[in-house]
Amino acid sequence: MSQRSCSVMEEEGSPPVSRQPAIDTKAGARRPTVQQTPAELKEIIAAERTGFPFLVWRAEDGEQRLLLLNQANWRVTIGRDAAADVPLPWDAEVSRTHALLEQIGRGWTLIDDGLSRNGSFVNGTRIVGRRRLTDKDRLVFGGTLVTYREISGAITQTASAIDAPSAIPLTPMQRKVLIGLVRPVHETASATPATNRQIAEEVFLTIDAVKAHLRVLFERYGLSELPQNEKRARLVAIVLDAGVLVPRDF
């Protein structure tokens, strides 16, 4: 079964982020205090558009992993064994065969029938036996967090916007703001989107005017309901993936 990896980014205005795993004290899970780059988000968006659920987690070095739960994968193994579908060999608290995910009907179920020494947790609750999963459930195995994702209304709205980029109207100034936002990522894939101040200086607007234009762009691309720290990177990923902006725009 295939895995896909990506890297991560910080939100505008926040200090540089560490790529070393941090401890989530609430869930007891090791997770890097990092956010996704536009390149990573493009892969997440691509996974969402397949319509299949998928798993997202980070390896010991903070690199993101993604496993699509498509029709070829009706059972997924999780464990310290390198041959597991979700291999966590760095986590000494994970058993070699720790838990299973199985497709039952249209949904996926976490199974831990005593396979693991330290147990499996969903949203902070230890699971004994089986637990039906829902979108954004936080699964903890040993000290590692794995997030379960499946299609929701908000994701469908975003995907719909991507499917018809030419139908999204942009004024000349909105397009300039969008170009300013995307420019650093266009130049260097590992860069973060431009800050409001950088955009304002480029397009000769006030910061408040830039914020207003971005709010409209978030709305038109179906991103208004996303967490604040995800909107900017999502917007950059969408416009690059959909070809809304091309090299000659920069």
Q: Which position has the higher pLDDT, 16 or 110?
A: 110
Q: For the chain, what percent of residues have pLDDT higher than 90?
A: 36
17 or 163: which leads in pLDDT: 163
| Amino acid, single-letter form, for residue 44 | I
The more confident residue out of 42 and 142 is 142
Which residue type does 145 have?
A: L
Confidence check: pLDDT of 2 > 50: no
| Lookup: tokens for 133 | 């999963």
In this structure, whether the domain defined by 154-249 belongs to CATH 1.10.10 is answered with yes
Q: What's the one-letter identity of residue 132?
A: R
Q: Can you give the pLDDT at residue 64?
A: 83
Q: What is the mean pLDDT of residues 123-136?
A: 90
Per-residue pLDDT for 9 more than 90?
Answer: no
Task: Let me know: does 232 contact 51? Beta carbons within 8 Å.
Answer: no
Q: How far is C-alpha 204 from the geometric centre of its chain's CA atoms?
A: 33
Neighbours of 117 (CB within 10 A): 11
What mean pLDDT is reported for the chain?
Answer: 78
Residue positions counted in the chain: 250
Do residues 168 and 220 make contact, with C-beta atoms less than 8 angstroms apart?
yes
The residue extents of the domains of the chain are 4-151, 154-249
Angstrom CA distances, 229 to 10, 80, 119, 179, 233, stand at 8, 32, 32, 19, 8
For residue 195, give every residue at least 6 positions away whose Cβ sits within 8 Å of its Cβ, in sequence order, or none: 12, 13
The whole-number average pLDDT for the span 220-227 is 81
182-218 pLDDT tens trace: 998 888 866 788 999 999 999 999 999 999 999 989 8
Structure tokens at 21: 């795993």
Going through 123-217 in order, the beta strands assigned E by DSSP cover 125-127, 129-132, 138-141, 144-149
Q: Which helix (H) or strand (E) holds 159?
A: helix 153-163
Residue 134 confidence (pLDDT): 92
Question: What predicted TM-score, i.e. pTM, was given to this entire model?
Answer: 0.61
CATH of domain 4-151: 2.60.200.20
Q: Has residue 86 got a pLDDT over 90?
A: yes
pLDDT at residue 153 greater than cutoff 60: no
Burial of 3 per CB tally in 10 Å (0-12, 13-18, 19+): middle
For the stretch 96-127, pLDDT in tens is 989 999 887 678 999 988 778 889 999 999 98
